Amino acid sequence: MTGWRAGIASAFLGVAIWQAIVWIGDLPKFILPGPGLVVETLWKSRVTIFDNALITLSEVLIGLFLGAVLGGLSAIGLAASPVARALVRPMLVFSQAIPVFALAPILTLWLGYGLWSKVAMALIIIYFPVTSSFFDALMRTNQDWVGLARVMGASGRRIMWHIRIPAALPGFASGLRLAAVYAPIGAIIGEWVGASKGLGYLMLLANGRAKIDLMFASLIVLAILTMCLHAATDMFCRKFLDRDQA
């Protein structure tokens, strides 16, 4: 069974299990609405959901781009400088010990309830995976290649640009694939803490008004957006790596 067929079959199985739980448990719709009701709500509220989805998607894309750029540059800096590795890397590890939920109110206080506090949350949550994956790949460069380049008189900068970075691109791509999944999490956390638009805000609003079907519809749209973003990132990375290796 091919990948997309397996995905469709898995989705149908999940919907069937969901409907079976509703039927067997005789659950009221304010506890667990059936998939039919959620689809109906999704269609009726499509304009509202679409408008809020665009806000969340813009936050995610900007955060993903900034996180990829800053993470890539940080990894190169760490790989190139032993001093940076000694001073900065422990700080990066320490930053991961701070729960992102604790940072969201602070960022909202500093950056306001608009776009940039959510972008900052997305950036923070994906920065470390991108940096860590790319840095590890840079540090695992084949030493025979590096030694040969040094024998031929190549400078450290040329070795980094022409040997270490191209060899580490698969690691950078792995970090981007993780970032594509994590970035929506950061944006939604930011919207939960303080926002007037976005899918996270819509989910909180629906939950407060006991519109659980709308909350599930928003959640499904968020999941679809995340899957599409991951698929697009994976396709981009594959094509970029294939072109680089050609």
pLDDT in tens, 35-63: 999 999 999 999 999 999 999 999 999 99
- What phi and psi values does residue 158 have, to the nearest 5 degrees? -70, -35
Report yes or no: 99 and 137 within 8 Å, Cβ to Cβ.
no
Structure tokens at 176: 């981007």
Which residue shows structure tokens 């604790």?
A: 102
Angle (nearest 5°) at CA 93 between 89 and 95: 115
Rg for the chain (alpha carbons), in Å?
Answer: 22
Q: Domains in the chain and their CATH numbers?
A: 32-245 (1.10.3720.10)
pLDDT in tens, 217-241: 999 999 999 999 999 999 999 888 8
Structure pTM?
Answer: 0.89
Looking at the chain, the whole-number percentage of residues with pLDDT higher than 90 is 52
pLDDT in tens, 160-197: 888 899 999 999 999 999 999 999 999 999 999 888 89
